[in-house]
Structure 1
Amino acid sequence: MLFKLFLWFLLAVRPGAGYFNLFLSQAEVRKLMGLEAELFYVREGVINQYAIKFVVPVPAQVHKLHFTWENLAGRPLPYTMSVDISNPSALSSSLNISQAGEIPVGGLQTWALALHCGPYDAEVDLALRINVSLSSRNTTSVDFRRKKICLKDKSGYPGPEEVLVAASGSTSGGQVFYAAIGCACAFIAAICVLVVAYYVRDKKARRHRDPLQESRGLSSACSVERGTGVGPAQTFLSPETPPPLSAASTSSYRRLDDRPSRELHERIQEITVQRCRVRLLSIEMEGTFGKVYRGSYHEEGATSSTDVLVKTAAEHASQSQVALLLREGLALYGLSHPALLPVLGVSIEDRGAPFLLYPHTGYRNMKRFLLRCKLSSERPPRALTTQEVVEMALQAAKGVQYLHRKRLVHRDLAARNCVVDDDLRVQITDNALARDLFPQDYHCLGDNENRPIKWLAIESIVNKTFTTASDVWAFGVLLWELTTLAQQPYVEVDPFEMASYLRDGYRLAQPINCPDELFAVMAYCWAMSADERPTFSQLIVCLQEFHTQLTRYV
């Protein structure tokens, strides 16, 4: 499907003086933003001011910017160009046309601005100004702003994949290209067969292991007062025994560097709490195999108790479900950021179900909060404005940016795994019990593993590949949830059809009352290629600039 979207074209336009078109072709927009659309900056003498003001990030692998213009005046139009670069030592540029000349008459012309990165990593701002003169007193000026990402290992000129080729008849070069693609696909298919065979063999071996082994390794000795005596200390799996990983209970978090089991064991020792110090008050959420309680925790030596939330498994929960609860609940331990909610403590005892402790400061589950705003019979306590939606999205983006800097991929970023308080302060949480509390958001595609299919990037659905780029995709869906008040994404699409649906170019539709600039950020996150998606640093820049534009009119 072609996105029927001219980015920012319908907003705030004013007449220009030159009679010409200036735009980015579909191939160029696909390369920069992952969209199937043309982006007009000047259309029949009308300047798209919002498109001009938007700073477009240029990925590290893109080294040429292509522009297309068309003369509608019936005679040559003189032009001049200039390029301003904020850091000339990190970036230089060159044009494949002269800096002063005339826009020719008779059809479209595409020209390119080449960007040459220096020998070190940098983010460089550049501005391209084009002045087109209709007469001696009538000149139209168009300014383009870009932010180029330069990496040492991706400097120099682009490879053949960045050449823009006009659609034409088949050539011998095209036949060679498709033959090469066919050979590559055959090689990849052979590799996939070997990987699947190894996976099946390994999975059979893993079935005989104890899924609770790891959960027992996540606790140290804990003495609990029982009447006048002290119960015996319960010691679990020694740190020398590595915890197993099963395909059906793999954590939705993945460190980019493996952490030793000894370090995991020591981490649990630091946060083990005594069950007798926790008091359960009321049930906040309840699923089939787990519950979330509101309670209080009285720390040893403290004069007063603190409010907490307690995640625990039901008595009839299986060992694998208990192990999964503990693994996922401990993923954020040790991290400190205003937009993250890490676990406070853990308790594992044979006399009761394991539980996880979280600090509670008046927040609530974000998905339930958004649904309450939409479905409540009474007027919501506060209506979410576009400015507030952007502020909430910025907080979440900064939290995930922090995770990525700590070499941690979330893998299940969604409104259900965030919390928000009355002041709209957002925190990202782990996804422990999320499958149980929000079963409608998870689907099994015949692989005995429930996954959030409709939040996953295309490579995560097909290959189970999770990277920082797949978190970017999920953030785009989270932003869509914020603007729709937690509407279900792709509600009309069967989970088994999601992969082909996305391959065909279909994406979530623009929500009602969602500004074009905000939807452009979402669509930018859903580029088919992971390399073409923005980083969270780039997303934060885009959202901050849009937030600045919003506040100017408030």
Structure 2
Amino acid sequence: MKVLKLIIPVSILLFKSVDAFVPNILEYNCTEADPIEQSTFEINHAISRLGNGNWRLDYQISWEPPIQEAVRYLSDLQVETIQSGLTPWIFSSCDEVVKLAGSHEANGNLSSNPTISQEIPFTHNGLFQVVYGVTSGGSPIPISQVTSVVFETPDCFEATEDATYCAEQEVLRCGMPINVTLEEVTFRPYNNISMTFSWSPPVQVNRLSELVEYRIQFHTEDGDLLLTDTIRHNDDEILYHWEAISPYIEEDFLYKITLVPYVSSKFFRTEPGRLFTKWFAAEFIMEATSEYPFATEDKRNMSSIPRVPSTPPAKPFLDTAAIVALSAGLVLLLVILIIAYFLWKRRRRRVAEDRFENRHLEGLLEMRQAENRREVDPSLKHKEIKYEQVTIECKLGEGEFGVVFKGTLSGMKDQVHDITVAIKTTKVGAFSDVKEDLLNEMKLIAELGDHVNILFLLACCSITEPYYLITEHMKYGDLLGFLRKCRKLENLDEDPIYSVGENQQFIIARDVAKGMAHIQGKRFYHGDLAARNVLVGEGLTIKIADFGLADDIYTRGYKRRATEQKIPVKWCSLETILNGICSSEGDAWSFGVLMYEIFTLGATPYPGIAPRFLVSQLKNGYRMEQPQDCPDDIYDLMKRCWQESPDSRPRFARMVDELGDMLMTRCDYIQFDGKEDETEIEELLELPRRNSASQNDYQISNGQTPNLAPILDEDFEVDFDELQDVLRKSQKETEKSVH
């Protein structure tokens, strides 16, 4: 009997039959019936060898009844496949009838726990879910909430060690790497210790997929990530090696290696297979040493020697004590000479080994640097500097993959003194695609050119790793944090720049619009315009930063967002959320949300609405209400930025002019006679920037802050795929309510 090969999910409808069905079970309903506790699940499996050379994997799942009365259970056991994923139950109402094919009796009775048993395949993901209830009209109706558990079945080769059998079995993606071994632990120069691992490719690989790479993570005993790496798969190789070298590896400590094979096919993008993880100790294997080279003389039986008559002994030249002392001294001297000789030989051998090891390591480093060395991109050639010119001082902030340091830059042309800079780089062990993104961001900023409201690329290190993106340092950090500091009275006393009134808010909004007009004019889009990605410097200087998602849209006018990227839903346009389309018109929508942040001093957009539930409301025409104290003309501009049709949204050059006109009407101390040219108007509009609000427009007095919009702590990013699932479910519910 061969193990069941599944191409669609397995579903089992299960009723727990009892001799006397208790009528008062009808008293339970959705709101009163407690779900089955997930902690009571017991999942066991048994592996057996069949007579025909095949293997069988049986699962047994049991749980504790939530109540003492006799009930009927509705359960479902699924196995994930390429054609169909795991489908959790969602009951929209207590009266919804659930229909599934097939029925089986549960093993057990009222005195034992309900149990099901089923054969399922190796190396798969499983989902078990169960509710309990009564029957109505022959169809089961759930009266409790769904309790579910997701589990992984054992890896086929790990469980059976039968490569021939496992290679013939179906698998969702692929099994785990096999024969993972720690081959050796050795000392390396410069206080490094290396651990060399080897493994062979997985036995199980989906027939419609191909192995592409192995991703490696190396953790310390405390759980800290020490190293990461990626090794490409080669069909001609049957044994792979990877060496972990680090000064932080310590002898006799435990370290965990995690190996994840990745596969790709026309059905899905590159996705992980079954991971292997195991702890290894950094233990050195000592070589056997030779014994002491000198042997002792055998004892003789002196009694067997015949006695010979002799004359009386002459008086010795030295007495007995002197002879013993002299002998002991000679023996000690001999031992010291022998030890010194062996130490000298050992040191000479160690020096020779180190000299050879250093030559080998230097050659290896030179070879790896040559492999990783890049040609300087033409757009970055005039920005490339040496690492010796950069001094890192302290960390300013970090994200999931990158980190930003404060530092100094020396040796720049036309600069006598060192320059204070911000240095953006990737975290240690970052994957190659993250490093490539940083290089692309450097090139994009360079291609945008210089603009007063765009963060300036001072220099970069892009030939060898680590890559450095070096920009001017902005003293007051990101605009979101700056605006929120403006809410606190103690910050106003510390620095007058935090006294931001309405005129200064117009200045900030107009500066961002000017920077975005330059980006739009170059036919680029930003892709993540928000207060957190705008920086504030001395004299209320405003500069747009963080171009990690930006791109050129010259060919089509837009670009589709990668599905694996997370989406900041509350700042994204409808077409970006629904279809992944990024464009400068989408940046205009984001600018409307950014103005909300500016004129509420950093409030959270759409307060009280979770990001994943906002989309359906936006599709139905909902837009944010006008914040308290927000000028009417600003709110009108916000709403025009939130037009559903991208072509109906204003362009940034137009918004620069409109914001300038709004600012002119509010600057009653600036006199315009209508004869000023553009340069003179810009100089006049700069006056509110240099003069902090003499009287805060929010009327902060007596230590009391105004009734500002709230700041909420929430996760503002949602996975694109997760968002699409929410939209599909919302669409189904809408269609169902219509019918």
- Per the normalisation by structure 1, the TM-score is 0.49
Bigger relative contact order (CA 8 A; separation at least 6):
1
Structure label with greater radius of gyration? 2
